Amino acid sequence: MAHFKITTKALNKNDDVLFKSMLQIVNAQLTAEWSFHDDAEIILVDMEEREGQQFWQQQQAQRVLIAYAREKPAEATWFLPRPIRVKPLIQTLNALAAAQQFLPTAAASSTTTPATTPSISSIPSTPAIKTASPVVSTASLSQDAFDPEQSLIGLLKQAVAKQQAMCFQIAAATPLFFSAKRQQCLTAQLQLNTLAATPTHLYNVSQEQIQCEPIAETAVIKAIAEQGGQFYPLAAIIWLTALSASKGRLIVGHLLQQPVKLKHWPNLAVLPHQPHHIRLAAFMTRNSATLATVAEKTQVSIAQVVDFFNACQLEQLVEHTEQAALLNKNNVSDAKRSLFRGILKRLLQ
């Protein structure tokens, strides 16, 4: 069984004691083992305290934070309503454990795959620019194929086919609304150019873990009025789900050895992305190559290349070629590479 450590921040003494004792009480009903440790990476933060709010602002990109408040803050992915009660606590911790096990992080000290979830590879899939030697050994890739139909993408396609507005949610996390009328999705604001900071819980999990509920179109409008958020093209959510749920598994029906090329750049002005996706787009629109060669030439891990390829495949950007064709481009000097890195660093400050 996976083991997670959790701690608290800015809770008053009573709530802190209550949380610790409740954690022990509910442990038998949790799908993972949870224990309280001061140095844990998962932190319950009292959002009604100034100290908690400041901590949230500083740490939300680095740690897994659970908002503790009477009303769910818009920016929170994970939420525990005040006062602490057994049922919401169990739901939140179980959902968080499920999402964490899909997303290998330091938060879990050991992970095993629960029976309800498909197997996952141990390939890290969220870091931004990889500066170490690339992982080009395809032996490290999961042998499982990525089937988009088993993720949120399958549910979205069903909603599109039925022309039915839907609400998708896991536990107390931020929901995603699909408007059939607009053919768009409404959710909390996504950071398009910093995918790592985007809450990806809903996009990681298999569809059995997602609660989906048909709703009226007016409910979508009501949701935006009450909770804020933003409409995104369906393509952006499908793209994000493919990137998040692939986990280094090649999409069904494709061979790793097949040379591929992109027809043109994905529209990164609307599709969530990380810096390495820009590198991949630049290389893959100019060269026809196997994914292992793409990884080698761009210094991006093979798992990240596969995730990007899957997302491009769903965007219908991929063309398969008989043979690899690499441009005979002069090597860029180390001084030039260093200059480009310097410019990028300055621009992204």
Partner 1 sequence: MSEIKIVFTGSMGAGKTTAIAAISEIPVISTDVRATDADVLQRKETTTVAMDYGELTLEDGQKLRLYGTPGQQRFEYMWKILARGALGLVILIDNSGSDPIGELVRYIDNFREFINETSAVIGISHMDTNPEPDLQSYYSYLQERGIELPVLPVDARSSDSVVMLIQALLAMLEFG
| Cβ partners under 8 Å of residue 184, min gap 6 | 178, 231, 232, 233, 234
Distance of CA 244 to the CA centre of its chain: 4
In whole angstroms, what is the distance from residue 271 CA to residue 193 CA? 9
Told to check if 281 binds partner 1 by CB under 8 A, we report: yes
**Could you tell me the end-to-end alpha-carbon distance of the chain, in angstroms, rounded to an integer?**
41
184 phi and psi angles, rounded to 5 deg? -135, 165
For partner 1, the binding residue among 37, 181, 320, 337 (CB under 8 A) is: 337
Q: Which of 270, 320, 325, 326 lies at the binding interface for partner 1 (CB under 8 A)?
A: 270
Tell the smallest beta-carbon distance from residue 312 to partner 1 (Å): 14
The distance of closest approach from Cβ of residue 305 to partner 1 in the complex, given in angstroms and rounded to an integer, is 12
Q: Is 325 in the site for partner 1 (CB under 8 A)?
A: no
Rounded to a whole number of angstroms, the minimum distance from the CB of residue 230 to partner 1 is: 14
* Secondary structure string (H, E, C) spanning 123-183: CCCCCCCCCCCCCCCHHHCCCCCECHHHCHHHHHHHHHHHCCCEEEECCCCCCEEEECCCC
Taking CB under 8 A as the rule, does residue 278 contact partner 1?
yes
Q: Which stretch binds partner 1 (CB under 8 A): 40-48, 67-75, 208-216, 334-342?
A: 334-342
For every residue of 7-19, DSSP letters joined together read EEES--HHHHHHH
Which structure tokens are listed for 108?
A: 């879990």
Count of residues touching partner 1 (by CB under 8 A)? 30
Q: Under the criterion CB under 8 A, does residue 133 sit at the interface with partner 1?
A: no
Residue 196 interacts with partner 1 (CB under 8 A): yes or no: no
Window 292-321: residues binding partner 1 (CB under 8 A): 297-298
Tokens standing for residue 3: 């083991």
Number of H helices, E strands in the chain: 11, 13
- Contacts of residue 147, defined as CB under 8 A and 6 or more positions apart, other chains included, come to 251, 252
What is the spatial distance between Cα 140 and Cα 306, in angstroms, rounded to a whole number? 12
Query: 19, 168, 177, 283: which one contacts partner 1 (CB under 8 A)?
Result: 283
- Options 167, 275, 290, 315; binder of partner 1; rule CB under 8 A: 275
Structural Rg of the chain based on CA atoms: 21
Q: How far is the CB of 35 from partner 1 (least distance, A)?
A: 41
Candidate residues 255, 256, 282, 326; the one interacting with partner 1 per rule CB under 8 A: 282
**CA distance readout (Å), 347 to 340, 341, 342:** 11, 10, 9
CA 297 remoteness from chain centre: 25
Check binding of 130 to partner 1 (CB under 8 A).
Answer: no
Nearest distance in Å: CB 329, partner 1: 8
Among 131, 161, 264, 328, binds partner 1 (CB under 8 A): 264
279 binds partner 1 (CB under 8 A): yes
Residue (of 194, 241, 229) closest to 73 by Cα position = 229
Place of tokens 């949701």: 223
Query: Binding of partner 1 at residue 336 (CB under 8 A)?
Result: yes
What's the min distance (Å) between Cβ of 309 and partner 1? 15
Candidates 31-39, 111-119, 225-233, 257-265 — which segment interacts with partner 1 by CB under 8 A? Answer: 257-265
Binding of partner 1 by 139 (CB under 8 A)? no
For residue 269, state whether it binds partner 1 (rule: CB under 8 A). Answer: yes
Work out how close the CB of 282 gets to partner 1 at its nearest, in angstroms, rounded to a whole number.
4
254 is an interface residue for partner 1 by CB under 8 A: no
Nearer to partner 1 by Cβ, of 127 and 214: the residue is 127
Place of tokens 């454990």: 97
| Site of interaction with partner 1 (CB under 8 A) | 193, 263-265, 267-270, 275, 278-279, 281-283, 285-286, 297-298, 332, 336-337, 339-340, 342-348
